[in-house]
Structure 1
């Protein structure tokens, strides 16, 4: 960078500052000038051609790319949704009644009974209690009723083009093409959310590649319309992330006065890696938590079982407090959100059906 260039920039900045102060140049006009001075972004159509060329280099066939991108469109609503996700204004006490209302509990119980035999088989195979599968199903898509109607290739191409998380959405796009290449679903039926989450369990394409399974042996992994595939894929996800059917998810507890709140996992850890590190630092046996004065929510002693748990504040020390078991970690891998995990746990607890050939929960 030359001295003349630096000097020129300083002079330009001084002139702009003078113009703004004297009213000769508005802030808006300067913003427009700054924007137009940047390198022009290619059109969406040009960007899609670049994506196709990159996909071709990765080994995808021209026929697959032509059919997959034949009707690709720019989804302005997807960009708006990605940029304007709502800030958290709830507390867990206001969130749970909305996410786990009585009608959803009743519906979950009905769905549990309707699919009881299939859920029992899958629960036995993957060692995941069926009530958690039903709870996830209900909270993700209202038992398959709300899966999103975006063309997944279009949604992912749009968000990659938008650029805020280009690398992430390109990775999802390559995974989506792999799913089409393997013939699990046709492009016309590959629908999902604005972010590309797909099917009745809302798997992102990379999650599909890692966890989706063929639950009924028909050669396809259809998480859009095949209950065997939907339930088995959910159970396989949890199983691969360390689920144990000998444990529940956690329990609400009470703390004694003057409790050392630093023993809990910090609310905002910034990443899953940091959260897991904080979990390891917080984890203690139930006997140790009992000795520290932690009690069940009704004030009685904690169970006398040899398991460990970490302390979690979904809001802060003035809100609800939970002892979280290892299964809590599996649910946090699914969605790194205390509120989401709490809603799954509470819905699963309210289903209240007897275990289906799985070990008794503690």
Structure 2
């Protein structure tokens, strides 16, 4: 009968590979940890390696089955060492036994982690889903069906119920898609794999502490491939910081069919992130043809009355009400929707830093309470830059002397400023928008 153990040549090749505790910071792909300290050849059912020279070394044929078995062997060895660290952090053996029963290396999780940056959407494509007719309809129903508990949550935390419901709608489609991946298995796999290993190991320890405190069971602790859990997708450390027991049963149960704890936890999160009741997240505005687009910068804040003197007014042509200091945001460049965003925009941003997500939550919350769709158009002829194209853009900006950007594919304020610098030098509208057309022009 053919042995199911990995081939000798594969084991020998892996043993010769240097151990990497963590992927290099410049790498955009995770480097798997190669650590067979807990796997001897004898324990794998293989003969010992001969020290006699081999005249004609052969290239090892690595089958998919071999690779999977080696990954599983290494993973189980990592779990053994992790359990020792977890016990030193106060996790009981009983909790470890229950939590890791049946846990195996999850290749699907790694595939999702390694490819998450490859697929992107424009803001308008994202909003088409985030504030779709179905999501608006279901959001209105959620407001009606959970009115009593949502009113109580709003009174206690001072966060408008429609905003809480909008987060719920975007995170799990109002509880219908909470995720079905065992959280312990997902986090253990990600911590073992090495890309952001320290981060995911910290999440894994926090998840075990949640189990030890009795808030849920290992079988019920399910979520996304990255370990986000429950109705509103808290990662374990966010659960520890913000989750609340609103029902008073002694557990912070964000997984239950009753969403009360999850919705209250979301309100608590936003409140602690600086939410101000009565202030909008943002308001759609019009900017004049003469507008200085260099002022469209999150660092530049003015009262709405000051913006009105510069020609920035509401879609009705009137000055926006003075809710507080605000910035002009152009998520689709000068040819798209213009917004005045207030401090509450930053509060939602603590939940998820992507502008598209924040706008999605804010716009959905407006729509489910009867607000209108955006009145301005979008540059529909543009498409989103891929991850590799965003890195190419950063490299080209560096070569042209528009900054010393980290080539990481992330379009943040520094890259936006560099884009604006390039646009000014070429006589373009300096809106800082990193479009595909801009990249084509640079090529």
Normalising by structure 2, report the TM-score.
0.66
Give the superposition deviation at 1:306. 5.3
Residue 190 (structure 1) aligns with: 221
Once residues 117 and 177 of structure 2 are traced to their aligned partners in structure 1, the CA distance between those partners, rounded to angstroms, is: 20
Q: Which residue of 38, 50, 59 maps to 2:18?
A: 38
Alignment of 1:30-179 (within 5 A): 37-39=17-19, 40-42=34-36, 43-87=74-118, 89-179=120-210
Among candidates 228, 247, 253, match of residue 279 of structure 2: 247
Aligned residues: 308
Provide the rounded CA distance (Å) in 1 between the counterparts of 2:217 and 2:145: 28
Does 2:279 align with 1:260?
Answer: no
Residue equivalent to 1:21: none
> What residue in structure 1 maps to residue 270 of structure 2?
238
Per-residue CA deviations over 1:66-114 (Å, capped at 9, x if unaligned) read 1111221111011110110144543222221122211111111111101
Task: After superposition, give the CA deviation of every residue in 1:298-336 in whole Å (9 maximum; x if it has no partner).
Answer: 4x1223425111222223333222111111111100000
TM-score (norm 1): 0.81
Task: Go from structure 1 to structure 2 and tell me whether the alpha carbon gap of 1:171 and 1:49 turns closer, same or farther (over 3 Å shift).
Answer: same
225-234 vs 161-170, greater mean Cα deviation: 225-234
Which runs of 5 or more structure 1 residues have no equivalent in the other structure? 1-32, 266-278, 355-362
When residues 95 and 201 of structure 1 are mapped into structure 2, their CA distance, relative to the original with a 3 A threshold, is same
- Give the SS at the match of 1:334: coil
User: Whose helix fraction is larger, Structure 1's or Structure 2's?
Assistant: 1
Contact 1:92–1:320 (CA under 8 A) maintained in structure 2: no
Unmatched tracts of structure 2, length 5 or more: 1-12, 20-33, 37-73, 372-443
Equivalent of 2:318, from 277, 301, 304? 301
> Are 1:159 and 1:166, in contact at CA under 8 Å, matched by a contact in 2?
yes
Residues 212 and 236 of structure 1 are in contact (CA less than 8 Å); yes or no, is this contact kept in structure 2? yes
> In the alignment, which residue of structure 1 is the partner of 2:352?
335
CA deviation after TM superposition for structure 1 residue 245, in Å: 1.2
Which of the pair has the greater relative contact order for Cα pairs under 8 Å at 6+ separation?
1
SS of structure 1 residue aligned to 2:334: coil
Q: Helix, strand or coil for the counterpart of 1:215?
A: coil
- Partner in structure 2 of residue 313 of structure 1: 330
Displacement of 1:35 after TM fit? 10
RMSD, aligned α-carbons: 2.0
Secondary structure of 2:366 counterpart? helix
Q: Distance in 2 between matches of 1:238 and 1:63?
A: 35
